[in-house]
Amino acid sequence: AIGAEKSWAQSATDLANDAKTTDQVLTVGLGQGQQRFSALDKVNTSNVKSLVPVWNYSFGDNRGQESQPLVYKGVMYVTTHDSTHAIDPKTGRGIWVNKFEYPPETPRIVCCGIVNRGAAIYNGKLYRATLDAHVVALNMEDGTEVWKSKAIDYADGYSMTMAPLIANGVVITGISGGEYGIRGFIDGWDPETGKHLWRRYTVPAPDEEGGDTWPGETYKHGGAPTWITGTYDPELDLVYWGAGNGGPWNAEFRKGDNLYVGSVLALKPKTGEIAWHYQFSPNDPYDYDGVNENIIADVEIDGKMQKVIMHADRNGYLYVIDRTDGKLLRASQYINKLNWADGIDMKTGRPIDSALTKKMRATGEKIDVWPSAFGGKNWFPMSYSPKSGFVYANTLEMGMSYKPVEPVFKKGTFYFGLDLAQLQFLFPDDGNTGYLRAIDPLTGDIKWEVGSQAANWGGTMATAGDLVFTGTYTGQFKAFDANTGEEVWSFQTGSGIIGQPMTWEQDGKQYISIASGIGGAYRNFIPVFGAKNVELNKLMASVPEGGSIWTFALQ
């Protein structure tokens, strides 16, 4: 049988080396630091024109496909919202499928897309989360369930879409539900038994540190969801995990900084203890979340090598932060239009409220704010190439009309405190709702950009072959020259792409994979809150559903 000789030796060392070992991909992000950079250069700018599909595997599922596949010892593992698949990565033949059910009412408490973003693997088991807020371990050999542990009751507005993270022998998971007035947290689990080890609330109780940043009982529905997988630095033994928007969005009913809304937390993986935090958007009135990925890199800044994380926040600023202590090193605007703030105060690390935000806070008047609640970049991860020194990000150019009103908490329903009848997405005159951008993380300079009418909603991957791969909403999987932005290859995958590219090598050949299958928040919300953009809606409606995974190699 395929993979029968496996020793299941993947360990903490294998995980730490994942970015270097090109014959396997053990982690979402192509390494614990999630640079999404591959050292493979067999496919490069001079031969990428000969990239052709090797196989296509159907999930038999019409939901959005956001999962990044993993490859270990000649088997590919990929997740959907309700199934996990093991596939022979050379032929696309299925090996096993684990299909599971969640209560049919679950989608009602999922804000943005019936999706799953991937799995983690460790010591012979594959870990994933379920939409109804469970964590599951599967036997990698045959897909049977080893354990299943409940994180929390989905009926209270909690769900799970992220991939788990393995750090220092602990399975770590976050939670979704920021639109439903949850109280966010991060959990640690025992990988062998599924025993719950610790919970770190991302909204502190009144008697905990940071508890005084929440008035009265507001912390109970304070949000700060943790729906994007964190990164791990084994040397510092710190996990970097984002905490999202406040509940309700309307911040006048929770005056204060509201820790740890819109923040990155540095956690000790064994205990969940907080080593430091940095808050991107104190009080966050606009659903700017703070959950986006934190890429680990070592870069020269001010004449010395520094251990940093890079983070393109939904609030429109790209941050470089010292990952040893949380000190802000750089912050630069990475989108065209931003009017909620006048910049970041480099001394305090805090954004400076613009006159517009001050007016909204003082009067409660309707405003047109940029970026929109989707942010300058949503969940779809950027990549960082240590070769070029640039990050490659799919960015968004949208604003929103925003009218705060008094919030009403009702279990399992949207907790916004906004007049939804007046919530509208706003679009730039030139018709580009998003750009793929090569950005210098230290200056914010944009080296090149490629605009799209329907914004790209998937991740990017950079390679040593000087290529950047990403997919489009309308279904083309594309490669760009990392240095010039020239489109050098394209293939239509049949449905829209909102997945995360990955690559590995097997028997001397480089393979590149991407899931195709439209869905996610852009699909769900643009037709409702962006209905005035008739052309965009027509284009988006023309994209057929259909979940599958494609794998490519040189002819």
Ligand X SMILES: O=C(O)c1cc(C(=O)O)c2c(n1)C(=O)C(=O)c1cc(C(=O)O)[nH]c1-2
Positions marked catalytic: 287
Residue among 238, 206, 200 nearest 219 (CA): 206
Nearer to ligand X, 179 or 284 (CB): 179
Residue 521 binds to ligand X (criterion: CB under 6 A): yes
Q: How many residues bind ligand X (CB under 6 A)?
A: 20
Rounded Cα gap, residues 105 and 125, in angstroms:
29
Q: 324-328: list long-range contacts, CB under 8 Å, 24+ apart.
A: 324/236, 325/276, 326/264, 326/266, 326/276, 326/277, 326/278, 328/278
Nearer to ligand X, 228 or 308 (CB): 228
Residue among 417, 460, 425 nearest 537 (CA): 425
Tokens representing 416 are: 């916004």
Over the window 204 to 223, marking each residue x when it contacts ligand X by CB under 6 A and - when it does not, the resulting string is --------------------
Nearer to ligand X, 213 or 245 (CB): 245
Among positions 24, 34, 161, 533, the unique one binding ligand X when judged by CB under 6 A? 161
Phi-psi region of 525 (alpha: psi -120 to 50; beta: other; left: phi over 0): alpha
Among positions 176, 294, 453, 493, the unique one binding ligand X when judged by CB under 6 A? 176
Judged by DSSP in three states, 419 sits in coil
Nearer to ligand X, 69 or 485 (CB): 69
Rounded Cα gap, residues 521 and 499, in angstroms:
13
* Residue carrying structure tokens 């083309």: 476
Q: Taking the complex as a whole, how short is the minimal distance between the CB of residue 335 and ligand X, in angstroms?
A: 15
Residue 261 binds to ligand X (criterion: CB under 6 A): no
Strands (E), 75-131: 75-79, 83-87, 94-99, 120-122, 125-129
Buried b / exposed e over 504-532, threshold 16 CB at 10 Å, is bbeeeebbbbbbbbbbbbbbbbbeebbee
Segment contacting ligand X (CB under 6 A): 106-114, 143-151, 250-258, 414-422? 106-114
How many whole angstroms from its chain centre is CA 138? 23
Return the sign of the alpha-carbon dihedral for residues 504, 509, 512, 513. Answer: negative
Segment contacting ligand X (CB under 6 A): 35-43, 344-352, 374-382, 461-469? 374-382
Residue nearest to ligand X (CB): 178
Over the window 290 to 329, marking each residue x when it contacts ligand X by CB under 6 A and - when it does not, the resulting string is ----------------------------------------
Nearer to ligand X, 45 or 456 (CB): 456
Q: Taking the complex as a whole, how short is the minimal distance between the CB of residue 201 and ligand X, in angstroms?
A: 15
Segment contacting ligand X (CB under 6 A): 72-80, 146-154, 177-185, 351-359? 177-185
How many whole angstroms from its chain centre is CA 428? 25
Residue 244 binds to ligand X (criterion: CB under 6 A): yes
* Residue carrying structure tokens 């293939």: 491
> Which amino acid, one-letter code, is at 545?
E
Question: By the 8 A CB rule, do 9 and 71 touch?
Answer: no
Rounded Cα gap, residues 192 and 8, in angstroms:
14
Segment contacting ligand X (CB under 6 A): 172-180, 199-207, 264-272, 340-348? 172-180
Over the window 378 to 397, marking each residue x when it contacts ligand X by CB under 6 A and - when it does not, the resulting string is xx------------------
Q: Taking the complex as a whole, how short is the minimal distance between the CB of residue 179 and ligand X, in angstroms?
A: 5
Nearer to ligand X, 122 or 227 (CB): 227
Question: By the 8 A CB rule, do 225 and 244 touch?
Answer: yes
Rounded Cα gap, residues 285 and 290, in angstroms:
12
Among positions 30, 75, 112, 126, the unique one binding ligand X when judged by CB under 6 A? 112
Segment contacting ligand X (CB under 6 A): 175-183, 186-194, 276-284, 320-328? 175-183
Among positions 61, 179, 481, 505, the unique one binding ligand X when judged by CB under 6 A? 179
Q: What's the chain's length in residues?
A: 555
* Angle formed by the axes of helices 520-529 and 534-541, nearest 10°: 140
Among positions 19, 25, 40, 115, the unique one binding ligand X when judged by CB under 6 A? 115
Asked if residue 69 has a cis previous peptide bond (ω within 30° of 0), the answer is no
Residue 499 binds to ligand X (criterion: CB under 6 A): no
Over the window 52 to 91, marking each residue x when it contacts ligand X by CB under 6 A and - when it does not, the resulting string is --------------x-------------------------
Q: Taking the complex as a whole, how short is the minimal distance between the CB of residue 373 and ligand X, in angstroms?
A: 7
Residue 496 binds to ligand X (criterion: CB under 6 A): no
Rounded Cα gap, residues 279 and 186, in angstroms:
17
- Pairing of β 548-554 and β 51-58: antiparallel
Please count the other Cβ atoms lying within 10 Å of the Cβ belonging to residue 418: 21
Residue 121 binds to ligand X (criterion: CB under 6 A): no
Residue 158 binds to ligand X (criterion: CB under 6 A): no
Residue among 434, 533, 446, 507 nearest 474 (CA): 434
Nearer to ligand X, 177 or 501 (CB): 177
Please count the other Cβ atoms lying within 10 Å of the Cβ belonging to residue 130: 23
How many whole angstroms from its chain centre is CA 363? 34
Residue 540 binds to ligand X (criterion: CB under 6 A): no
Among positions 289, 397, 466, 481, the unique one binding ligand X when judged by CB under 6 A? 289
Among positions 31, 33, 92, 178, the unique one binding ligand X when judged by CB under 6 A? 178
Nearer to ligand X, 112 or 167 (CB): 112
Residue 18 binds to ligand X (criterion: CB under 6 A): no
Nearer to ligand X, 157 or 194 (CB): 157
Nearer to ligand X, 143 or 242 (CB): 242
Nearer to ligand X, 222 or 269 (CB): 222
Among positions 118, 177, 285, 459, the unique one binding ligand X when judged by CB under 6 A? 177
Cα dihedral 25→198→160→97 (10° resolution): 50
Binding site for ligand X (CB under 6 A): 66, 111-113, 115, 161, 176-179, 225, 227, 244-245, 289, 374, 378-379, 520-521
